[in-house]
Amino acid sequence: MIERDHSQLSIRRQCELLAVNRNRLEPRQAKLREQDEELMRQIDMIHTHHPFLGTRKIVLELRDLGWSISRRRCRRLMRIMGIEAMVPKPSLSKPAPGNKIYPYLLRELEVNQPDQVWCTDITYIPMIKGHTYLIAIMDWHTRAVLSWDVSNTMDTAFCLRALHRAVKVAGRAPEILNTDQGSQFTSKEWTSAVEAYGAKVSMDGKGRWVDNVFIERLWRSLKYEKLRLWSYRNIPELCEHVDTWMSYYNHSRKHQTLDYATPWSLYRPEKEMKAA
């Protein structure tokens, strides 16, 4: 009903005409208790180590740790965190109602050069008080992380910041940008921005859970190699840790699947040679 990019009517005026409260356009943030935050930390640790576990088995793991929790509550917290089991299932991340779903463009596509395909995902980061979300945009062929951003809300704005920064770093947009069907990536703001750069929008479909594996491995490495070894009290401190590790990942961390090369040495070999 509400068109955010209407050429003649502002959002405020559309709400007035439809008698809609403008403050209710976005879903309310779920209220969390202090115990919920600690539970989410435990769920995040279990999911990072065993991303294939669903709510039923995560509940069992939590009960082994002494938590009394129902499957319904576990499902609610996982939904807030934006995580789900990485197994084949009828549907992936739920898009917002009315958002367009784009087809999956990578089936049987040979990805053999940088900037042919980019992929992106969002992960939950627990903090001493509260939590935040991290997005990264990765080049599919070289596994190089082109940009990342942090936000304390699951909105589209920080996703767009990461997108614009990735295009600036790469000097161009990819041919295809692949995402899941989360509401941030099905929003008109996101898809319009991707298409404005001349890239094609691709979205994981039924049975394509495996396409998130590259970034899921990135999240696991970041959390176990850096974030869980250090303390951070606020978002600026968190960003310092993420920035340090992302630089290490791109320029120093050797990948077995890349014949022990670093991502950036394959993505921008000429710049890596100059830096050396």
Instruction: Verify that 55 and 136 share a domain, yes or no.
Output: no
**Alpha-carbon distance 247 to 121, whole Å?**
19
61 and 140 housed in the same domain: no
Q: Measuring CA to CA, how many Å separate 218 from each of 100, 134, 137? A: 28, 12, 11
Q: Both tokens of residue 256? A: 């077995």
Same domain, 198 and 129: yes
CA atoms 266, 157, 41, 57: torsion sign: negative
122 and 256 belong to one structural domain: yes
For the chain, how many residues are written? Answer: 276
Query: Is residue 128 in some structural domain?
Result: yes
**How far is it, in rounded angstroms, from Cα 43 to Cα 59?**
9
Q: Are residues 164 and 251 located together in one domain of the fold?
A: yes
**Contact call for residues 178 and 276 (beta carbons, < 8 A):** no
β-strand partners of 261: 255
| 125 shares a domain with 46 | no
Q: Do the beta carbons of residue 214 and residue 145 sit within 8 Å?
A: no
Q: Which residues of the chain have pLDDT under 50?
A: 27, 88-93, 273-276
pTM for the whole structure:
0.72
The predicted pLDDT at position 22 comes to 59
Helix (H) or strand (E) holding 207: none
Q: Compute the chain's Rg from CA coordinates.
A: 20
How far apart CA 233 and CA 74 sit, in angstroms, is 26
User: How many separate domains does the chain show?
Assistant: 2
Nearest Cα neighbor of 215 from 42, 76, 86, 81 is 86
Answer yes or no: do 73 and 124 share one domain. no
What's the confidence (pLDDT) of residue 149?
Answer: 97
Q: Could you list the residue range(s) of the whole structural domain that residue 45 is in?
A: 34-81
Do 74 and 124 fall within a single domain? no
CATH number of 226's domain: 3.30.420.10
Residue 252: inside a domain, yes or no?
Answer: yes
